[in-house]
Structure 1
Amino acid sequence: MADGNALRRLQEVQFALVELQLYLDMNPDDQRAVKQYKELSEQLAQLKKAYEKERGPLMQYGNSSSPDRWAWHKTPWPWEIEY
């Protein structure tokens, strides 16, 4: 997946999770939404792992599992990514 597409997909899934979380705050018994939240959470973890393996850490301060901690300087800055 192209770098911009991978990052965009991460952002889309994160946005969906935020929206679902807000919905579930008001509708905690909606099992369909709970299931979708769990599925998207797993998908996000997989997307992050794949992205970090290919491009380096997404977060700083030791929150990423990338073996190459200092690869961040090799990736484009957010304003350099063309979607």
Structure 2
Amino acid sequence: MEPSNALRKMQEVQFALVELQLYLDVNPGDQRAVHQYNCLSKELIALKAEYETKCGPLMQYGFSSSPSRWVWNATPWPWEIEY
């Protein structure tokens, strides 16, 4: 998957997770929404892992590991990728 497509997909999933979180704050007993939230959360984790494997780390301060060498300055920053 192209870096720009991967970032776009992550943004879409993150948006859906924010919306579901807001919904669940008001409707905590909706098991269907909880299931959907958990599924999207797992999808986001997988998308981030795939992106970081192919394109480099997304987050700093220990949230993303670095391969055997430091790669933060070797790949385009997320905001440098054209959509």
- TM score, norm. by length of structure 1: 0.88
% identical aligned pairs:
71
Match of 2:47 in 1: 47
Deviates more, 1:56-65 or 1:18-27: 56-65
Q: Kindly provide the CA deviation profile for residues 24-53 of structure 1, in whole angstroms up to 9, marking residues without a partner as x.
A: 000001111001000000000100110111
Residues 1:28 and 2:28 aligned together: yes
Look up the SS of the partner of 1:74 in the other structure.
Answer: coil
Q: Call closer, same or farther: CA 1:12–1:35 in 2, change over 3 Å.
A: same
Alignment gaps of 5+ in structure 1: none
Look up the SS of the partner of 1:76 in the other structure.
Answer: coil
Is the CA contact (8 Å cut-off) linking 1:57 and 1:65 kept in structure 2? yes
Match of 1:19 in 2: 19
Match of 1:56 in 2: 56
Greater helix proportion: 1
Look up the SS of the partner of 1:71 in the other structure.
Answer: coil
Identify the structure with bigger relative contact order (alpha carbons < 8 Å, sequence gap 6+): 2
CA distance in 1, matches of 2:17, 2:69: 27
Letter of the 1:11 counterpart: Q
Residues 1:67 and 2:67 aligned together: yes
C-alpha RMSD over aligned residues: 1.5
Aligned residues: 83
